[in-house]
Structure 1
Amino acid sequence: MKTPLYLSLMGVVVLTNSSFKKAKIYNFRTATKNTFRVLVLKSKYEMHIYDSSGEWIVGYPVVFGNKDLGDKMMEGDRKTPEGIFHIAMKRRHEKWDSFLSIDYPTAESYRRFNERKAKGQIPANARIGGSIGIHGTWPHEDFAIDQYQNWTEGCISTKNAFIQQIFSMLPVGTEVEIRR
């Protein structure tokens, strides 16, 4: 007699975890750089993807480099840069499944870097760094995402299954905003 109770509970789960809002259908093969927008919220360990109308599509858990979540100051600080960037290149990666390179450093990144140097906030011989992107984890280490283990050199990392979805969805040129 547990079956009716079980089915009722399953119905509640389905109803509470479903959206009755009409779902949009996206053709990822014809997506352009303006089809989607990415917002990374470092303080919440979240990455959200929106469509061109500003409607939320999907969110993913992410981790970063340095635990203090501050803005990237210089090469080697393991911090994830903040600002508005774009996906510059996509490639498969031997360690982290897939890699979506962002166009860090931008002109704004250089402006902030030079300002910090002039104020003595970073060493005069410091370099700005680069090679920042969105990627997966080491094989079989998706637990780092669940446990909020910041392990990268300043990149944004998510689970390998998620990076495969993101890689397929987002074209080169897509805007990526990173905020604290």
Structure 2
Amino acid sequence: MKKKSNNLKIKFLSLTVIIVATSVLYLQLARLGYAVPLPDLLDVLCLNGCEDETSGNISHPRLPSNQILNGNKQIIEILNAQKIDKNKISILIEKSEYRLTVYHDKKPVKSYPVVFGNNPVDDKLKEGDKRTPEGKFKIKDLYPHAAWSKFLWLDYPNKYSWRKHFKAKFGGKISWNDSVGSEIGIHGTPSDDLIDNKSNWTLGCISLKNKDVDELYQVVQQGTEVEIIQ
């Protein structure tokens, strides 16, 4: 009887060690971008029912091509600093237009010239492809940055990003050894000339002039919607 009890204890301890080791390994893989974070797993696998990825379904009205709206006006003045409702602020980024536009209640307020990753055309599928991701994101954090004035950190990869990533793996477009990537955001630049010359210098982030990102920083918050399209 005692031997049986000892065997049960050994099996229980072994199972516990396996569960803990597996959990630690999974968390580490998730941190490195090789595994879906547990809170998003059901959505990525569509076990909660898949939503459309909204590709082609743009939620912001687009400005005419090549237009930079209110480029010579301060956004605080346009919106009236005393009455800005940050909950109604959203952003549309158009890669083909090299343009970021701020919207208030889905109405365009002001545009800024921007540049992107070294490959400004294709959608991001993995870490290191130097592409700027497309889709709908949210600002998950924002803070001053020593090199780029301000950093508006996007929630890439979200569940749609993960689905694209795995679809590309199953389709043979990328390797199963590739990670999804992370730390995509909107930030300033080491030189305004990079923006003026449309030099796509980043690894996938969206870059604008430091004075412009400083201005943008005043009207956004955690949770601000950012839509990125081609």
How high is the TM-score relative to the length of structure 2? Answer: 0.64
Match of 2:195 in 1: 145
Whose strand proportion is higher, 1 or 2? 1
Question: Is 1:31–1:171's contact at 8 Å kept on the other side of the alignment?
Answer: no
Question: 1:43 matched to which residue of 2?
Answer: 96
> Which of the numbers 106, 109, 119 marks the counterpart of 1:67?
119
- Contact 2:95–2:120 (8 Å) recurs in 1: no
CA shift, 1:24, in A, is: 4.8
Runs of 4+ residues deviating >2 angstroms? 23-28
Q: Which runs of 5+ in 1 are unaligned?
A: 1-16
1:31 aligns with 2:85: yes
What pairs with 1:1-180 in structure 2 (closer than 5 Å)?
A: 24-27=79-82, 31-32=85-86, 34-52=87-105, 54-138=106-190, 141-180=191-230
After superposing the two structures, state which structure 1 stretch, 159-168 or 60-69, moved more.
Answer: 60-69
- 2-structure distance, mates of 1:177, 1:58: 15
2:142/2:222 contact within 8 Å kept: yes
RCO higher in 1 or 2 (8 Å CA, sep ≥ 6)?
A: 1
Q: Which moved more, 1:60-69 or 1:42-51?
A: 60-69
8 Å contact 2:93–2:101 — kept in the other structure?
Answer: yes
Whole-angstrom distance in 1 between the partners of 2:215 and 2:223:
17
Within 2, Cα distance between the matches of 1:61 and 1:72?
21
| Letter aligned with residue 64 of structure 1 | F
Give the match's secondary structure for 2:125. coil
Q: Which one-letter code corresponds to 1:62 in the other structure? A: V
Greater fraction helix: 2
How far residue 169 of structure 1 moved from its aligned partner, in angstroms, is 1.2
Q: Report deviation, 1:168.
A: 1.1
Q: State the shift of 1:58 in Å.
A: 0.3
CA contact (8 A) 1:91 1:100 kept: yes
Return 5+ residue gaps in structure 2 as ranges.
1-71
Aligned length: 155
Largest Rg, 1 or 2: 2
Give me the identity figure in percent. 41
1:126-173 Cα shifts (integer Å, max 9, x gaps): 0000000000001xx111000000000100000000000011111111
Structure 1 pair 24–169 and aligned structure 2 pair: CA distance change class (3 A) = closer
